[in-house]
Structure 1
């Protein structure tokens, strides 16, 4: 079997920059998203020692002598720090005594602030770099520059695409987890996703929360996949699971803490109308969501298949990936008001400028597809940069002032504007 190629990660530049001026750097993200490979590459040109808390002997040593465990003259890499969050106190003491930057490079598959056993997590001493599964641009060696480009060019942005609906379906079911991307046999990929989810529930979720109903947790994941890119509240899941609302809320929080799902908050500004504050839920990896629905690329194209919701979830996750390296500091949210105007994604930069994005699975679009975007444009005035319907067609098409239809692949095929 050929050795898989090493795909460069955009987060590497962020990690290197953080090590240059910050004492502790944490790379956090989903299990098997490539964190260990990334830190090994980053640490490769440095004098560094490495510990792995997934190994029983390393955990035993850390528990027996935490101060000695973190004592290192140069960079110390510690994988899966959430397995012994108490080590953070020893690291805190070490970097307070020796405040040189680049002392520790950590990885974690759970958000440290969600761990019940985590102490005060190094405020002012640690920078966190979030690593998602591969983006489409990383997989295809494309520029992944849409967010910076759209805030720069606005409605002047143009792109033509050769990507087909069938290709989008294939990308959705493949996802971006490194192990899944090299499995071309759909059955083998499905086996990977099934074992991946079960391992998360058996190990990581139970570390975070007192999970007494593993069967219901597994059922919850499947329900969430069937409701991808929709607003989900704990109350709507009570009857389906037979669990109390507080228990469901705790389970949802645990799934977010281990980077299986992500909540996209509701967006609101004082626009003279009430907007929902409820979050929309997506899977961090579209392949997992498709796997939970037992659908392959061919089935996803059939009438009645969940192509639309999975495509929206796929687009939102690609935007979320891109936000971790874009030059623009942007918040991602969604919009829905009481008059039932909706916008799938709202990108707002620190200056209050807004880009609205709708996602359509069709290869053609019409004026009605811009209903929510026109509402947003009317409410925001000059702060509204542009509204874009991302669709599965090939051309960029104008639909009025500041409104455009663009191919979904614009997300990863458009380069960021040149700087300097």
Structure 2
């Protein structure tokens, strides 16, 4: 099913010799190959455990791993002393965790230049180096692609009946989702999209997210740039971000959350900003920027970004969510469900070369997601856990449409309510689409 929707590689393209028999195709596979062909090299960035290396191996014919437990020291030493030697091997060549030796970036860029893109590379990285940065940006030679944990479609939990790209092309939504219950949605949120846990019992699968959060607090955030950071402060910041999930939160609010206990020391804005930047560098959080429809528009919008966890399992783990707790607190469940939907929308939008934003103006009109295509088309989406909220969400979307058209902005390609428990995808009488998340695909 996934392969059918993503399309097949041309006959002359031989998938990598390192491909593993258990590899499940990802929606980014074809985009990665196309960009490698167009640019010569691609850099797959994303959080640990999201499947970067597994995907890169399926498209590579040789590799060097800089964090290999058996050869890491030798590989890193070779890369530092002779980057050229580290690049030797059948192409496409995978350089896994390249950020451990940042000079490899420039070496790859030069190799692509010298060979006229005959030498091709895939770099993977779970952190952005802060020190010893490459000398060259890689523009025109190395294209960056963001990988996130698996979407519901990739995990086989969406029928794929409705394509985001097809909606932009003018197709109306029509089709049935995979039938799910509220308990199933709890599972999707708590389990998350980590490839390694998709077939595990939920009780065991949830350990990965809890371990992930603990590792971020105790090690990863200091290791990323060798700057010591207080694990307790990191933990309090992660909790604040989880508590305010999918909201445009000010640094002032985070500081208040982090110092609510009288025993907690005061924090400066600079400290919190530094911690946020470090979390972005290891791809744990992303900034969803505010959408501005027209540079000359008179509409005053909120430009403060929303902080989005890369996978809903992380805020769920931080908040101690269980299926029982989520079913007893549908408000919190709703925000975590929004995190899940945004994860999927970000992946589907990347395949379509589109950007995901959100909208909020000075009248407090707010829309959860604005997807803006590379050709200027835009769509507005509201995310709701249950179908009973569809009327309210549709009215909100129509208010935005009216306001944008009055301000001279092009009409949206479509308006849609993305919901958790819908029975089918259809078009309402007012023209707003209703699309269950379990039938959405790229």
Is 1:407 aligned to 2:436, yes or no? Answer: yes
Structure 1: segments with no counterpart, 5+ residues: none
Match for 1:383 among 402, 411, 421? 411
Is contact 1:276-1:336 (8 Å) kept?
A: yes
Q: Which moved more, 1:229-238 or 1:386-395?
A: 386-395
Give the corresponding residue for 1:320: 346
Residue 243 (structure 2) aligns with: 226
Where do 1:89-128 residues align within 5 Å?
Answer: 89-111=106-128, 115-119=130-134, 120-128=136-144
How many residues end up aligned between the 2 structures?
402
CA gap 1:243/1:96 in 2 versus in 1, 3 angstroms: same
Instruction: Find the aligned partners of 1:189 and 1:22 in 2 and give their Cα distance.
Output: 38
- Pairing of 1:249-328 with structure 2 (within 5 A): 249-270=273-294, 271-303=297-329, 306-326=332-352
- Provide the residue aligned with 2:15 in structure 1: none
Matches within 5 A, 1:71-220: 71-72=88-89, 74-111=91-128, 115-119=130-134, 120-140=136-156, 142-143=159-160, 146-153=163-170, 156-161=172-177, 162-186=179-203, 188-209=204-225, 210-220=227-237
Q: For residues 281-324 of structure 1, what are the alpha-carbon distances to aligned partners after superposition, in whole Å with 9 as ceiling and x for unaligned?
A: 21111112211111123321224551110111111111001122
Query: For 2:46 and 2:326, how far apart are their aligned partners in 1?
Result: 28
Provide the rounded CA distance (Å) in 1 between the counterparts of 2:330 and 2:29. Answer: 41
Contact 1:53 1:80 in 2 (8 A): yes
Residue by residue, what CA displacement relative to the aligned partner does 1:244-278 show, whole Å, maximum 9, x if unpaired?
Answer: 11111121121112111111111122443211011
Aligned to 2:430, the other structure's residue is in SS state: coil
* CA displacement at 1:396 relative to structure 2: 4.2
2:44 and 2:125 in contact (8 A); partners too: yes
Q: Could you tell me how far apart the structure 2 residues matched to 1:220 and 1:144 are?
A: 39
Distance 2:65 2:390 in 1: 56
Distance verdict in 2 for CA 1:151–1:167, change over 3 Å: same
Q: Deviations over 1:93-150 (max 9, x none)?
A: 43333333343221111235xx232123322211122221111111107438532122
Shift in Å, 1:181: 2.0
SS in 1 for 2:387: coil
Match of 1:52 among 53, 66, 74: 66
Q: Distance in 2 between matches of 1:389 and 1:145?
A: 13
Q: Tell me the residue number matched to 2:8.
A: none
The whole-number CA distance in structure 1 between the counterparts of 2:373 and 2:359 is 16
Q: Deviations over 1:68-106 (max 9, x none)?
A: 333446443211011111222333343333333343221
Q: Contact conserved, 2:187 with 2:202, CA < 8 A, in 1? A: no
C-alpha separation in 1, matches of 2:391 and 2:107: 60
In the alignment, structure 2 segments of 5+ residues that lack a partner are 1-19, 259-265
- TM-score in terms of structure 1 length: 0.87
TM-score (ref. length: structure 2): 0.83
The secondary structure found in structure 2 opposite 1:243 is coil
Whether the 8 Å contact between 1:53 and 1:81 is mirrored in structure 2 is: no
| Aligned counterpart for 1:347 among listed residues 368, 371, 381 | 371
Q: Deviations over 1:159-184 (max 9, x none)?
A: 33322222222111111111232331
- What's the CA shift string for 1:323-356, capped at 9, x where partnerless? 2223xx3221111111111110111223432211
- Secondary structure, counterpart of 1:294 in structure 2: coil
Structure-2 separation of matches of 1:97 and 1:303 = 59
CA contact (8 A) 1:26 1:107 kept: yes
CA distance in structure 2 between the aligned counterparts of 1:179 and 1:35, rounded to whole angstroms: 12
Match of 1:368 in 2: 392
SS of the residue 1:239 aligns to: helix
| Aligned partner of residue 384 in structure 1, secondary structure | coil
